């Protein structure tokens, strides 16, 4: 299960990805300008290469000036070819940024929603391993485990398995490897020798199978890494969701399936709004930060340090229902994972100073019970 802090971290990662895309798109726009003023080798007319090179440099300079403020300068005194080329390059840049922004957000939402699918896939793998042991190895002890039986007979899980194709049937080498390692495992051997097991022993073995055999299988982890680029982080959330289900499920009756978050619809709206507002207000947030760095330039901060500070400022301003102190604490805690000790103290000091100023001048306005006075 993921929470708002995890969501903030995921948004930060994708904002970083978007910043890389923007840099690449600027290079594409500059390539467009260079290509626009290349001599036409097929022309019968003589080409003034020196003039073309000058026009290219002038257009590139005009683009660089635009990128400083994102405001168009007066083009009346520019040669016609320059502003035609500039408009064409700018359109390419803006369209590419828009496409990347939408694609990254879509991928982020899909990544979060796949956490639920991969959690259910883990439960499906438990059933699959039990069935293969029974059908091929003629070993039925796991298939008869009361918790495997409950999963096997659960209509919701079976519908999801079929609807979303939650199976390793196309990767039989993974289940084969899991089973081969299981058959050599001492805990499994002890489990098979028992004449009968208590409900808690049945539960403990299934938890052991999930944690120590399935989730530690190298081939399975490679499989998940290929379909989830953030598997190193998401693995822990998915493991917790599956283990919570097995710990809390009764031998019979309804299974307490886990969800992506406590309220995914609300968290999804928070994620989308935070992502969009951070992109929309990137320059504004940067302008709040720069004067507070004193002897530092913002370029000297790591990309993640700058992103965390910008995100916090945007959240404090744009999310009226979240107390300022909550936002500050969340991003200071986030910096513990993504920043050095030195930059963490800088982030803390800069954000504290900016928050006090923005509260004082009325830029930060909170609404809702208990949020009017959040100093």
Distance, CA of 246 to CA of 147 (rounded, Å):
8
The answer to whether 97 touches 25, Cβ cutoff 8 Å, is yes
- Least confident stretch, 114-128, 237-251, 342-356, 361-375: 361-375
> Is 80 exceeded by the pLDDT of residue 295?
no
Residue-level pLDDT at 216: 96
Distance, CA of 55 to CA of 33 (rounded, Å):
9
> Is 90 exceeded by the pLDDT of residue 343?
no
- Least confident stretch, 184-188, 308-312, 337-341: 337-341
Residue-level pLDDT at 300: 65
> Is 70 exceeded by the pLDDT of residue 368?
no
Residue-level pLDDT at 40: 82
Average pLDDT over residues 169-189: 93
> Is 50 exceeded by the pLDDT of residue 193?
yes
Q: What are the backbone dihedrals phi and psi of residue 189, each rounded to the nearest 5 degrees, phi first?
A: -60, -45
Tell me the pTM. 0.89
Average pLDDT over residues 191-202: 88
Average pLDDT over residues 42-64: 89
User: Tens of pLDDT along 104-157?
Assistant: 999 999 999 999 999 999 999 999 999 999 888 787 788 999 999 999 999 999
Average pLDDT over residues 88-109: 97
Average pLDDT over residues 317-331: 95
Among residues 340, 347, 313, which one has the least CA distance to residue 327?
313
Average pLDDT over residues 198-223: 96
Task: Tell me the CATH number of domain 281-360, given options 3.40.50.2000, 3.20.20.70, 1.20.58.220, 1.10.940.10.
Answer: 1.10.940.10
> Is 70 exceeded by the pLDDT of residue 67?
yes
For residue 73, CA distances in Å to 64, 94, 283 come to: 11, 17, 18
CATH 1.10.940.10: which residues of the chain? 281-360
Among residues 144, 249, 227, 261, which one has the least CA distance to residue 192?
144
Percentage above 90 pLDDT, the chain: 76
Average pLDDT over residues 197-223: 95
Average pLDDT over residues 178-191: 94
Binning pLDDT at 50, 70 and 90, where does residue 296 land? Answer: low
- Least confident stretch, 165-179, 254-268, 281-295: 281-295
What rounded mean pLDDT belongs to the chain? 91
> Is 60 exceeded by the pLDDT of residue 273?
yes
The string over 217-250, giving b where at least 16 C-beta atoms fall within 10 Å of a residue's C-beta and e elsewhere, is beebbebbeeebebbeebbebbbebbbebbeebe
Token code pair at residue 243: 């283990």
The answer to whether 130 touches 142, Cβ cutoff 8 Å, is yes
> Is 70 exceeded by the pLDDT of residue 372?
no
Among residues 296, 246, 230, 184, which one has the least CA distance to residue 12?
230
- Least confident stretch, 101-115, 192-206, 295-309: 295-309
Distance, CA of 85 to CA of 72 (rounded, Å):
14
Distance, CA of 214 to CA of 143 (rounded, Å):
16
User: Tens of pLDDT along 274-290?
Assistant: 999 999 999 999 999 98
Residue-level pLDDT at 27: 97
Percentage above 70 pLDDT, the chain: 95
Distance, CA of 324 to CA of 326 (rounded, Å):
5
Binning pLDDT at 50, 70 and 90, where does residue 73 land? Answer: confident
Residue-level pLDDT at 337: 86
Residue-level pLDDT at 373: 43
Residue-level pLDDT at 374: 42
Residue-level pLDDT at 137: 77
> Is 90 exceeded by the pLDDT of residue 199?
yes
């Amino acid at each position: 299960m993921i929470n708002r802090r995890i969501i903030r971290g995921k948004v930060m990662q994708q904002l970083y990805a978007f910043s890389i895309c923007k840099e690449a798109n600027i290079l594409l726009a500059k390539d467009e300008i260079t290509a626009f003023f290349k001599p036409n080798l097929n022309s019968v007319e003589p080409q003034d290469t020196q003039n073309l090179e000058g026009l290219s440099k002038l257009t590139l300079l005009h683009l660089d000036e635009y990128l400083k403020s994102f405001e168009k300068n007066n083009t009346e005194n520019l040669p016609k070819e320059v502003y035609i080329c500039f408009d064409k390059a700018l359109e390419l840049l803006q369209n590419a940024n828009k496409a990347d922004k939408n694609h990254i957000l879509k991928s982020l939402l899909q990544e979060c929603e796949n956490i639920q699918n991969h959690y259910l896939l883990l439960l499906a793998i438990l059933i699959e391993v039990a069935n293969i042991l029974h059908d091929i190895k003629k070993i039925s002890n796991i298939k008869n485990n009361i918790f495997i039986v409950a999963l096997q007979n659960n209509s919701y899980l079976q519908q999801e398995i079929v609807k979303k194709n939650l199976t390793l049937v196309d990767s039989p080498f993974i289940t084969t490897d899991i089973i081969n390692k299981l058959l050599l495992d001492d805990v499994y051997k002890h489990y098979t020798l028992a004449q009968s097991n208590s409900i808690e022993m049945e539960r403990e073995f299934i938890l052991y199978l999930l944690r120590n055999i399935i989730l530690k299988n190298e081939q399975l982890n490679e499989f998940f890494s290929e379909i989830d680029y953030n598997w190193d982080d998401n693995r822990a959330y998915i493991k917790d969701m599956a283990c919570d289900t097995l710990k809390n499920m009764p031998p019979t009756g309804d299974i307490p399936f886990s969800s992506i978050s406590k309220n995914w619809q609300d968290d999804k709206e928070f994620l989308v709004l935070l992502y969009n507002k951070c992109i929309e207000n990137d320059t504004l947030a940067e302008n709040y930060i720069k004067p507070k760095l004193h002897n530092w330039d913002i370029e000297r901060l790591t990309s993640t340090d700058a992103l965390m500070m910008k995100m916090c400022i945007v959240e404090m301003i744009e999310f009226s229902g979240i107390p300022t102190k909550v936002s500050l604490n969340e991003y200071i805690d986030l910096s513990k994972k993504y920043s050095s000790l030195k930059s963490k103290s800088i982030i803390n000091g800069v954000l504290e100073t900016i928050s006090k100023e923005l509260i004082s001048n009325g830029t930060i306005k909170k609404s809702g019970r208990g949020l009017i006075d959040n100093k």
